[in-house]
Amino acid sequence: MKAIVYHGPGNKSLDDRPMPELKAPTDAVVKVTRTTICGTDLHILKGDVPTCEPGRILGHEGVGIVDSVGSAVQGLTVGDHVLISCISSCGQCDYCRRGMYSHCATGGWILGNRIDGTQAEYVRIPHAQTSLYRIPPGLDEEALVMLSDILPTGFECGVLNGKVQPGSTVAIVGAGPIGLASLLTAQFYSPSQIVMIDRDPNRLEVARQFGATACVDAGGQDPEAEVMRLTDGVGVDCAIEAVGVPATFELCTSLVAPGGIVANVGVHGVKADLHLEKLWDRNVAITTRLVDTVSTPMLLKTVRAGRLHPEQLITHRFSLSNALDAYDTFSRAADTHALKVVIEVS
Ligand SMILES: [Zn+2]
Ligand SMILES: [Zn+2]
């Protein structure tokens, strides 16, 4: 089968690989129909994710059709249309029982990281019973690719950890797919303001269409001064970091109001400074999280009900044979205006 394979920092290629097989009775093999590229895949290619070793098939998002199931998997049969969660969870270990699937003792974020991922014609899914979600009939599978990772990540790591409430003021630093996913799902709670901060005017325009109440172009404007102006000089109740570089994390800590929360979502590859000399008396909290995907069933319901339209995030489509072009388009988002690129596999 064809697959996108990581060959060390800066290197990837479309290779021929053997078909995956069931290794444990709790596994399933899924024939991938659609997958996508994540900002995290770019972090892997930068060398930020040392657990991902050369030779690994990339990708942790996708939908497909169950091709084979292990004898211990209940509730799934060959031919089922399924959403693949980016997090594999056994459902039984201490962490899973606390709803912290991201730290499952035998799972977590392993797809396209510690084991072969979804940017391929077929993928083996461990703990299939608790890591795949049957797709109700009639749902647009392309939209659901956004539910493998970015919607639950934006919602859980940004909105839930940031404790967005009715009337809250929110700043989201980074208007890429994850920041936009936080923007879309923050609106479940009717915050009074959602200020989007980015350097890309196109992404800010998209954010405005998606419901941002104000947009700050960090290329020309001073984000801290703008946020203070918009919040009567106090800052925001929730600052969501959706980039993953030191400057944007430090910016978030300067935007947060006393009593507020900095909710980090970004994948960080290098250290950032924490200005405790400015923060120690401000009653703020800083949260970090790897998405648990506990909200996936809820998000499926909101998409099914037409309350959430994740297909808005899709800007480009490629076939698997052109997946390297998909990477090129996605990695040059400022020029190509790419948000999410869908790879149509079969
Ligand atoms: Zn991802
Ligand atoms: Zn577990």
Distances (CA, A) of 38 to 26, 58, 82, 207: 27, 10, 19, 19
Residues 223 and 322 in one domain: no
| C-alpha 86 to ligand 1 mean position (Å) | 7
Residues 139 and 12 in one domain: yes
Distances (CA, A) of 98 to 86, 103, 107, 128, 315: 18, 10, 14, 19, 36
Residues 107 and 187 in one domain: no
- Mean residue pLDDT of the chain comes to 97
Q: What percent of the chain has pLDDT over 70?
A: 100
pLDDT tens profile 302-321: 999 999 999 999 999 999 99
Give residue 345's pLDDT. 97
pLDDT tens profile 277-298: 999 999 999 999 999 999 999 9
Mean per-residue pLDDT, 181-189: 98
Largest CA distance in the chain: 61
Give residue 82's pLDDT. 98
User: What is the number of structural domains in the chain?
Assistant: 2
Mean per-residue pLDDT, 173-199: 98
| C-alpha 336 to ligand 2 mean position (Å) | 39
Give residue 283's pLDDT. 98
> Which residues have CB less than 5 Å away from ligand 1 (the ion)?
38, 40, 149
Residues 115 and 180 in one domain: no
pLDDT tens profile 195-246: 999 999 999 999 999 999 999 999 999 999 999 999 999 999 999 999 999 9
Residues 71 and 120 in one domain: yes
| C-alpha 207 to ligand 1 mean position (Å) | 20
| Residue closest to 308 by CA, chosen among 143, 161, 145 | 143
Residues 130 and 174 in one domain: no
- CATH code where residue 93 lies: 3.90.180.10
| C-alpha 222 to ligand 1 mean position (Å) | 30
- CATH code where residue 209 lies: 3.40.50.720
| C-alpha 39 to ligand 1 mean position (Å) | 6
| Nearest-angstrom CA–CA distance, 260 and 345 | 43
Residues of 119-158 as b/e, b for ≥16 C-beta within 10 angstroms? bbbbbbbbbbbbbbbebeeebebbbbbbbbbbbbbbbbbb
Q: Which domain holds residue 255?
A: 153-287
Residues 14 and 138 in one domain: yes
| C-alpha 105 to ligand 2 mean position (Å) | 5
Reported as a pLDDT band with limits 50, 70 and 90, residue 48 is: confident
Burial class (CB within 10 angstroms; exposed 0-12, middle 13-18, buried 19+) of 228: middle
pLDDT tops 90 at residue 138: no
Residues 271 and 164 in one domain: yes
pLDDT tops 90 at residue 81: yes
| Residue closest to 309 by CA, chosen among 204, 221, 203, 206 | 206
Phi-psi region of 343 (alpha: psi -120 to 50; beta: other; left: phi over 0): beta
| Residue closest to 345 by CA, chosen among 26, 151, 64 | 64
Reported as a pLDDT band with limits 50, 70 and 90, residue 251 is: very high
| C-alpha 296 to ligand 2 mean position (Å) | 17
| C-alpha 167 to ligand 1 mean position (Å) | 30
Give residue 101's pLDDT. 98
| C-alpha 170 to ligand 1 mean position (Å) | 23
| C-alpha 291 to ligand 1 mean position (Å) | 10
pLDDT tops 90 at residue 103: yes
| C-alpha 172 to ligand 1 mean position (Å) | 18
Query: Which ligand neighbours the alpha carbon of 26 most closely?
Result: 2
Reported as a pLDDT band with limits 50, 70 and 90, residue 269 is: confident
| C-alpha 234 to ligand 1 mean position (Å) | 33
| C-alpha 85 to ligand 1 mean position (Å) | 10
pTM (two decimals): 0.96
| C-alpha 112 to ligand 2 mean position (Å) | 18
| Residue closest to 191 by CA, chosen among 175, 177, 171 | 171
| Nearest-angstrom CA–CA distance, 226 and 242 | 18
Residues 40 and 138 in one domain: yes
* DSSP annotation string for 16-80: E-PPP---STT-EEEEEEEEE--HHHHHHHHT--TTS-TTPBP---EEEEEEEE-TT--S--TT-
How many helices (DSSP H) and strands (DSSP E) are in the chain?
Answer: 13, 15
pLDDT tens profile 150-164: 999 999 999 999 999
Residues 132 and 110 in one domain: yes
